[in-house]
Amino acid sequence: MDHSKNVDASAVKVLVGDVLIDVTPEMIAALASGGRLVGLRSTGSVLVIPGDIRRSVEESVTAAREGFVALQRVDPAQVDQFFVDFADLIDDDDSFEPVLRANAEDVDAARAKGRATGRLVISDKMRRDMSAGLRMWAGLEFSRLGLSDSLEHAGWTVESWRAPLGVVAFVFEGRPNVFADATGVLKSGNSVVFRIGSDALRTARAIRDHALFPALDRAGLPRSAVNLVDSSEHSAGWALFDDPRLSLAVARGSGAAVGQLGEIARQCGTPVSLHGTGGAWMIVGTEFPGVRLDSAIVHSLDRKVCNTLNTIVVLESNRDEALGAVAAALVSVSRSRGVRVIVHTTPDVAPVFSAHDELDVRTEPFDPGEEWEWDDTPEVTVLGAADLGVAVEKFNRHSPRFVLSVLSNDDSEVSWAWENSESPFFGDGFTRWVDGQFALARPELGLANWQTGRLLGRGGVLSGDGVHTVRLRVRQSDPDLHR
């Protein structure tokens, strides 16, 4: 019997963490339709998942569970062949033409909403990178089962085996290339289910129908191994990460939405890999290398992605010289792109940059940790610090604890910053090296920063060969073995 019609929502409250929340008619209606309410202790808020969204997501996860079981019976050579076939279909102009058409529609719709489209457009380079990543998976020398260690005892042996984990769930921002990235978990025997941002949903459907499904069919893999949650609703992402059948939940994107998704998954006991906020930081040392500094800044601002240079810190000991070098590099960026680079800085620093017409200098109050989102016109923050210790402390306190680069000819400065900074990705040059495919020759499934703390037992680059569990196997040669 449906009692929801008799409930006075205004008279009902629910305790979320230490906050009493009023039950709304929307919550009552969702429960009546078979939906779900998800309370978040960190904010004392309640997320509402409608019944139809919950059922749709549950069907996708059920399919992924079935796909996982089916994958264990597949020859690893078939998985490698799938990656080759998928890449071939992406490279083939006739096969990929419907994808480009759908992508053009997505881009037009996003622009009409005033959204940035730099990451949404399938450029020739993005298409080549998608294909190259898939072919890289095919060529990697590992499969779903691998012996990692063996310990000999008298009369018996214990073996440690890398083994598939299960269903991996992704929530992606609106970037079409991540569709190909997600399939990397098949290499290690895992299945995948994911939701992609609404801006790229048409593109994702077209890739699924005109490249992914044909590649799975040609290689003899089950279609249920890769599942797209076909919904533009944010609640679909909530429902996905709220499913306790997941083995790993991966959120790629930035901002509060990623933290929210991580909290949902953790409440179910699901391990998570979270990106959080992006934006790389750079500290100019006391003895900075002029030519290399200029190159590092220019090549760290070639496009806006998570590892793009966001914040530059100069030291008091050589402030004027460092600011001049930074300004010159930003002017080079402005001239090469034909735009005025936006520089957020403090009033005492602003005159150095205001002397250049190529720079748009802004001195309004700002959050030192804010990630600037831009499409064509680069945007950076420039800060001052009393010394290297203060600069590193600013990074640890204000940044998303993601990428830090220290430019200095003094190796002791670089080493000190390496040891004392809370950065999973540290370097002494340009910041855009932070990418699994570029740095580790492993297509990247996700990057994780330290915004919510260090990671247990793994690095910040999540790759397909890192999505596994460990199984122990005993081989007993002594029939009388006992304890």
Q: Is residue 450 part of a domain?
A: no
pLDDT tens string 259-308: 899 999 999 999 998 887 899 999 999 999 999 999 999 999 999 989 99
Q: Is 465 part of any domain?
A: yes
Query: Does residue 95 share a domain with residue 45?
Result: no
* Cβ neighbours of residue 205 closer than 8 Å, sequence gap 6 or more: 102, 228, 230
Shared domain check, 181 and 139? yes
Residue 11 is predicted with a pLDDT of 66
Same domain, 31 and 65: no
User: Is 200 inside any structural domain?
Assistant: yes
Q: Are residues 67 and 198 in the same domain?
A: yes
Please check whether residues 162 and 310 belong to one and the same domain: no
Domain-located, residue 100: yes
pLDDT in tens, 33-84: 999 989 888 888 899 999 999 999 999 999 999 999 999 999 999 999 999 9
Measured CA to CA, the distance from residue 222 to residue 18 in angstroms comes to 46
Give the model's pLDDT for residue 74.
95
Say whether both 117 and 261 belong to one domain.
yes
Q: Both 251 and 330 in a single domain? A: no
Residue 136 shares a structural domain with residue 71 = yes
Q: Find the domain containing 262 and state its range.
A: 54-276+459-471
Q: What is the mean pLDDT of residues 9-26?
A: 77
Q: Decide if 1 is inside a domain.
A: no
CATH of the domain at 195: 3.40.605.10
Q: Would you tell me how many other CB atoms lie within 10 Å of the CB of residue 1?
A: 4
pLDDT of residue 8: 57
pTM over 0.75: yes
> 272 and 393, same structural domain?
no
Q: Same domain, yes or no, for 75 and 112?
A: yes
Distance (Å, whole) CA 392 – CA 435: 23
Say whether pLDDT at 23 is over 90: no
Does residue 2 lie within any of the structural domains?
Answer: no
Identify whether residues 297 and 254 lie together within a single domain. Answer: no
pLDDT tens, position by position, 183-205: 989 999 999 999 988 888 999 99
- Determine contact, residues 406/280, Cβ cutoff 8 Å: no
Nearest Cα to 159, choosing from 476, 478, 399, 390?
476
Residue 330 within a domain: yes
Question: What one-letter code names the amino acid at 171?
Answer: V
Number of domains observed in the structure of the chain: 3
Q: Is the pLDDT of residue 155 over 60?
A: yes
Phi, psi of 341 (to 5 degrees): -60, 135
Query: What is the pLDDT at residue 402?
Result: 95
Mean pLDDT of the 313-333 span: 97
* 169 within some domain: yes
Q: What is the CATH number of the domain that holds 385?
A: 3.40.309.10
- If asked whether residues 126 and 263 sit together in one domain, one would say yes
